[in-house]
Amino acid sequence: MTRAFLRAFRSGVRAWAGPLGLALWAGLAQANADLGWRIITERSLGNCGACHAWQAAPASTSTFAPSLDGVAQRYNAAQLRQWVVDPRHLRPDTLMPVFGSLSGLRQPAPAQAVLSTEQIDAVVLALQQRTVIAQTPSAPPAFSPSASTSAPLTLAPKNPTPDTQGRISGLAFLSPSLRQMNDDDMANPMSLWVERGLAAWGQSKPGPTCQSCHGPVADMRKAVAQHPKLSPDGRSLRNLEDQIGVCRQRQGASSAQPDDTVLALSAALHHAARGEPIAVQAPVARQSVWQAQWQAGADQYQSRQGRMNLSCAHCHDDRVGAQMRGDTISPGHPTGFPIYRLSWQQAGGMDRRLRACYSGVQSAMPEPGSAILRSLELYLKVRANGMPLEGPSVRR
């Protein structure tokens, strides 16, 4: 009797679970597609809009990667899943990050896959349901003034005048209003830092002043353009801020650590050196030590890094002019430091900017002043040799 009851009970359950289950499943699928779309759009989750455009609200206008509109017409669910989990299986040299694995990634931070299996399921479902046909070209527009005037965000270069080697400074990539703020000394927040630095140059601390050993700031133009240099013992690279720190100890400062006075002195010296062509060279003695430092920087520049699995070169050589949300990728030339960055609401040097790029690819960040940041600065300066220093600048 119990057995008969159980059988009846089970078939009863099956009878109502069928339609209800289907309805439940459909509801759940909808919920998951909504969740998936949230994962796609939100910066703290998939952040797909940093690279991909789409038309659905909230729209994304990034041009780093092809539009996601209509992507489900090009790929089935299994292929879409593969793109998101680990696109290296589809295209070994891909610029699409790995969202479902950590295998082979350098210094991922935090050290867990960006998305869980459940989140990726939801993303795939959302991609399948958003089948808007792409109206926009799927290839990112090449960097050219005409392509950028039609771009929805007019952050494009106003007067991109490449030098004889085709190099363009980051200044050319500022929006017109930022460019104006940069060019007007009254509006440029770095002017205050320059004034403060000029005052510090002539101040005694209580030891000798910078001026008493070095003369007027203007006499330092060449020296500014030659940094980073090897330290006198040849063991490490010194950038301008490091050298200022060393000299402040000559004045009695307790440490060579960079602080606001060092940043202000760097601003004053860079200001005095405006127009001076960058001239970073191997010293006659210790050529091979210098070369090894440069090589370390070059290797780091080319290495894929972090959970986004991108190298500096992928962005600053291969995708110049592409939009990542509000940013236009410049070639990353070190001509305008130190910078006042609006998003920081503060001034910062090269280390801070480079660390921001590490953070952007979700990589562990090297410590300020670390050897790898100095090697990278050396590599960037050599790459920009001959370009004029532009002095302290404003950035987005």
Residue 312 sits in the site that holds ligand HEC (CB under 6 A): yes
Q: How far apart are the C-alpha atoms of 38 and 122, rounded to whole Å?
A: 9
Torsion of CA 385, 386, 392, 396, to 10 degrees: -70
Residue 384 sits in the site that holds ligand HEC (CB under 6 A): no
β partners of residue 312? none
Nearer to ligand HEC, 50 or 181 (CB): 50
Least distance CB 39 / ligand HEC (angstroms): 7
Q: Where are the beta strands (DSSP E) in the chain?
A: 53-54, 60-61, 229-230, 237-238, 323-324, 327-328, 339-341, 346-348, 393-395
Least distance CB 186 / ligand HEC (angstroms): 22
Nearer to ligand HEC, 206 or 232 (CB): 232
Minimal CB distance residue for ligand HEC: 170
> Could you tell me if 111 and 103 are in contact, meaning their C-beta atoms sit under 8 angstroms apart?
no
Q: Give 395's DSSP letter.
A: E
Residue 387 sits in the site that holds ligand HEC (CB under 6 A): no
Nearer to ligand HEC, 229 or 374 (CB): 229
Alpha-carbon Rg for the chain, nearest whole angstrom, is 27
With CA atoms as reference, report the closest residue to 279 among 237, 334, 217, 352.
334
Options 91-99, 101-109, 142-150, 157-165: segment touching ligand HEC (CB under 6 A): 91-99
Least distance CB 67 / ligand HEC (angstroms): 8
207: left (phi over 0), alpha (psi -120 to 50) or beta: beta
Among 65, 198, 272, 384, binds ligand HEC (CB under 6 A): 65
**The three-state (H, E, C) secondary structure of 135-181, written as one string:** CCCCCCCCCCHHHHHCCCCCCCCCCCCCCCCCCCCHHHHCCHHHHHH
Least distance CB 52 / ligand HEC (angstroms): 5
Q: Which of residues 151-210 bind ligand HEC (CB under 6 A)?
A: 170, 173, 208, 210
Q: Which amino acid is at 125?
A: L
Size of the site for ligand HEC (CB under 6 A): 69
What tokens appear for 144 in the block?
Answer: 């050219």
Q: Which residues bind ligand HEC (CB under 6 A)?
A: 40, 46-48, 50-52, 64-66, 68, 71, 74, 80, 83-84, 87, 91, 94-97, 99, 123, 170, 173, 208, 210, 213-214, 220, 223, 226, 229, 232, 240, 243-244, 246-248, 250-251, 265, 301, 308, 310, 312, 314-316, 324, 327, 329-330, 332-334, 336, 339, 353-354, 357-358, 360-361, 376, 380, 395
